Amino acid sequence: MLIDFINTLKDQVKIKAKYGIEFVGDPEKIEVGLTPRSIVYTEGSKNLYLYKGKNEKNSPLLLVYSLINRPYIFDLRPNRSMIEFLTNNGFDIYLLDWGDPRPEDAFSDLSELINGTMNRAVNYIAKLHNQKSIDMLGYCMGGTFASIYTAIYPDKINKLTLLTTPLSKNEGGLLQDIGKKLDVDKALSSKGIISGREMKMFFNSVKPVGMIKKERDFWKNKGEEKFLDTFLPVEKWSN
């Protein structure tokens, strides 16, 4: 029994050495988004990335992400990556990353994002692959953008897939109720951009108990490497 205890203790020390310092001291050290990629198109802070498929055999797929959070949720870790899975199955994956907003982005509206940046990205991909239409997947707010784009340009989209996409203004739940009480115009009046810190406070207010549960789960499972290998990258993404 003593030997088992010592071995367990050794394992926990290794896990804490691997994850503990990174999480407590510098979460940015947690490695995410490890699938090889290249930038093929750029507009200001916005980048179009290509993840080259193995033995290309399918239509190119454009991932349209939200303006909020980072898009590496599609590519968290090896064996925990949608992009890795799709490229292994022969898809050329393109990811539209909106990047960090710059002062000039304060003047961009939905038309510029959808009829401008998105449309130019779709045209670029279609021309590159000598196709009239491509496949598109929209995530969260990116799904809303993708839906609008497909309605405007139906001939340019072959297949449309939506994940966690808000479409009905009547089914926003608590998030919508809180949003109605916010003076967005006032928040935008000074800089034209709402900071990530302010957005995080807003989303945390929707499920305040979730923050407590998350911390409880971390301390309860901090000795489990399998748990940490998923928890820490997701925690980095959500922050």
pLDDT in tens, 155-214: 999 999 999 888 876 666 666 676 676 676 766 666 666 666 776 776 666 776 766 777
Pick the residue with more confidence: 2 or 235? 235
Neighbouring residues of 58: CB distance < 8 A, sequence distance ≥ 6:
89, 90, 91, 92
Please say if the pLDDT value at position 125 is more than 90: yes
Alpha-carbon distance of 73 to 96, in angstroms, equals 13
CB-side neighbour CA atoms (13 Å) of 14 = 8
Taking residues 135-149, what's their average pLDDT? Answer: 96
The yes-or-no answer on residue 140 being catalytic is yes
* Alpha carbon 191 to chain centroid, angstroms: 24
Please say if the pLDDT value at position 15 is more than 50: no
Neighbouring residues of 87: CB distance < 8 A, sequence distance ≥ 6:
35, 51, 52, 53, 54, 93
Question: Where does the pLDDT of residue 130 fall: very low under 50, low under 70, confident under 90, or very high at 90 and above?
Answer: very high
Residue identified by tokens 């001939």 is 155
- What is the pLDDT, as a whole number, of residue 91? 92
- What is the pLDDT, as a whole number, of residue 114? 96
Please say if the pLDDT value at position 116 is more than 90: yes
Phi, psi (deg, nearest 5) at residue 136: -140, 140
- What is the pLDDT, as a whole number, of residue 171? 64
Please say if the pLDDT value at position 26 is more than 60: no
Contact 32, 62 (CB under 8 A): no
CATH 3.30.365.10 fits 31-167, yes or no: no
- Give percent of the chain with pLDDT exceeding 90: 38
Pick the residue with more confidence: 218 or 3? 218
CB-side neighbour CA atoms (13 Å) of 236 = 24
Contact 96, 67 (CB under 8 A): no
Pick the residue with more confidence: 75 or 137? 137
Of the chain, the end-to-end C-alpha distance in Å amounts to 41
Catalytic residue of the set 15, 63, 95, 140: 140
Predicted model pTM? 0.75
Taking residues 106-111, what's their average pLDDT? Answer: 83
Nearest alpha-carbon partner for 91 in 147, 183, 161: 161
